């Protein structure tokens, strides 16, 4: 399998809300290639919009592999603050506040419904990838000082995108 190309900021698909998956046939190969792409890129998670597919799917490899199709956040609790990166923002890490715990419902790779409660890094990864499905990016909902210190990287990504 050939890995997928990761879409970088400021590609408009990253700011778009993803569509629900209504046809579960033939998702297995896409999900497998998403995991492969995520691992090759050294990420903890990858959402379908990050590979140019506007569908509500994301994968996470954080101690264990998880597939989330048509996910829904049921509850969040607590608070954590720390560094966060994104494959669609190469070389950029921002300190960001997130809930420390999350409860999520979704369908897995076998198209079976499940519910998962997670905390810490896994909760952060789930919430980050879930944001991608809503068109919310790493640079959204962060303190201004975080954006200011990352302006050089953001300008370079914007320039690269214009030259494509």
Q: How many CA atoms lie within 13 A of 128 on its CB side?
A: 32
pTM score, whole prediction: 0.95
129 is catalytic: yes
Out of 23-27, 118-122, 127-131, least confident range: 23-27
Q: Give the per-residue pLDDT at 72.
A: 98
| Dist. CA 5–CA 8, nearest whole Å | 9
What are the tokens at 51? 């590979």
| Mean pLDDT of all residues in 131-160 | 92
Would you place residue 147 in the very low, low, confident or very high pLDDT band (cuts 50, 70, 90)?
Answer: confident
What confidence category does residue 19 fall into, taking pLDDT thresholds of 50, 70 and 90? very high
> Which residue in the list 115, 129, 158, 164 is annotated as catalytic?
129
The three-state (H, E, C) secondary structure of 1-45, written as one string: CCCCCCCCCCCHHHHCCCECCCCCCCHHHHHHHHHHHHHHCCCCE
Q: Which of 131, 132, 73 is nearest to 102 (CA)?
A: 73
Enumerate domains of the chain plus CATH numbers: 12-162 (3.90.45.10)
Residues 145, 83, 133, 79, CA torsion sign = negative
For residues 3-29, average pLDDT: 94
């Amino acid at each position: 399998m050939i890995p997928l190309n990761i879409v970088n900021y400021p590609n408009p698909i990253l700011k778009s809300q993803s569509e629900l998956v209504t046809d579960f046939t033939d998702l297995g190969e896409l999900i497998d290639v998403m995991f492969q792409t995520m691992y090759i890129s050294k990420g903890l998670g990858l959402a379908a919009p990050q590979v140019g597919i506007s569908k509500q799917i994301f994968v996470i490899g954080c101690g264990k592999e998880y597939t989330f199709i048509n996910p829904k956040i049921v509850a969040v609790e607590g608070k954590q603050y720390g560094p966060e990166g994104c494959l669609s923002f190469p070389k950029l890490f921002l300190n960001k506040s997130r809930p420390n715990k999350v409860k999520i419902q979704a369908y897995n790779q076998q198209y079976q419904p499940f519910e998962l409660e997670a905390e810490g890094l896994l909760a952060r990864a789930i919430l980050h990838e879930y944001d991608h499905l809503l068109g919310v990016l790493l640079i959204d909902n962060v303190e201004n000082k975080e954006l200011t210190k990352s302006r050089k990287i953001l300008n370079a990504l914007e320039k690269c995108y214009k030259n494509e």
